[in-house]
Amino acid sequence: MPTAEDTLFQRFGKEFPKGTVLFHEGEAGKEMFVLQAGRVVITKTVRDTVQILATLGPGEFFGEMALISNRPRNATATVDEPARVLVIDPKTFEGMIRGNSEIAVRMIKKLAERLDAADAQIETLLMADPSSRVVQQILHACQSRGRPMEEGVEIDFNVRELPTLTGVGEAGIRAELARMERSGLVERTGDRLLVRDTARLADYLQLIALRWKFGEP
């Protein structure tokens, strides 16, 4: 018997190979997307440089702001792994929101999470010390989407996304990660980061901020 997900895919689903651009920054938005399988990367061009804003996995939706605000796309979405995607047109989107309060609430919660992430990014970018920005972003990720483990808190961690979020180059980010690993604060495995003790990491953040403020090495 087909699942609800299968039924939705039959009505709205499409499959896209890796490298497919689902929409370009600056173009009119005619559809929103729900990712059922695969991975999609959201990028934005800043001063002629393509910056990764987010890497999305199954269950994530994107492209809805162009429908809500009726403004051009503010980023580009590219398939990073072969994807199964629900493609929702404006009329269907409006009907889903009006007819299903659960969908509306989920969308409001997701938009609130994105606003919180934007606020955290602003707070991070206001820090003068590059190392503090990296540590602050990791702490925020632990608080907002961390997974409690026996050994600490685990987060999905893609180094390619951090330059946009922190304003710190990838070399500087890797150097700070290496310092934290040597200190036993974190352990990195691929695109996952284990923070052993968030309280210790918060203390470390205060320490490096003080060192920066008073000019200590």
Q: Quote the pLDDT of residue 16.
A: 95
The beta strand positions in 57-180, using DSSP E, are 61-62, 76-88, 147-149, 152-156
Once rounded to an integer, what is the mean pLDDT over residues 196-216? Answer: 80
Say yes or no: domain 128-214 is CATH 3.30.300.30. Answer: no
Alpha carbon distance 211, 217 (integer Å): 7
How is domain 4-99 classified at the architecture level of CATH?
Sandwich (2.60)
Domain 4-99 shares a fold with domain 128-214: no
Residue-wise pLDDT tens digits, 23-81: 998 898 888 898 999 999 888 876 667 777 778 888 888 888 888 778 888 889 999 99
* Residue that the structure tokens 């399988």 belong to: 37
Q: Quote the pLDDT of residue 115.
A: 63
Task: Say if residue 158's pLDDT is above 60.
Answer: yes
Q: Quote the pLDDT of residue 56.
A: 86
Once rounded to an integer, what is the mean pLDDT over residues 132-149? Answer: 87
Is residue 155 very low, low, confident or very high in pLDDT (cuts 50, 70, 90)?
A: very high
Task: Say if residue 168's pLDDT is above 60.
Answer: yes
Model pTM score: 0.57
Tell me the domain boundaries of the chain: 4-99, 128-214
Phi, psi of 10, rounded to the nearest 5 degrees: -60, -35
CB-based contacts of 61-65 (< 8 A; 24+ apart in sequence) = 61/32, 61/33, 61/34, 61/35, 61/107, 61/110, 62/32, 62/33, 62/35, 63/22, 63/23, 63/29, 63/31, 63/32, 63/33, 64/32, 64/93, 64/107, 65/29
Contact 32, 96 (CB under 8 A): no
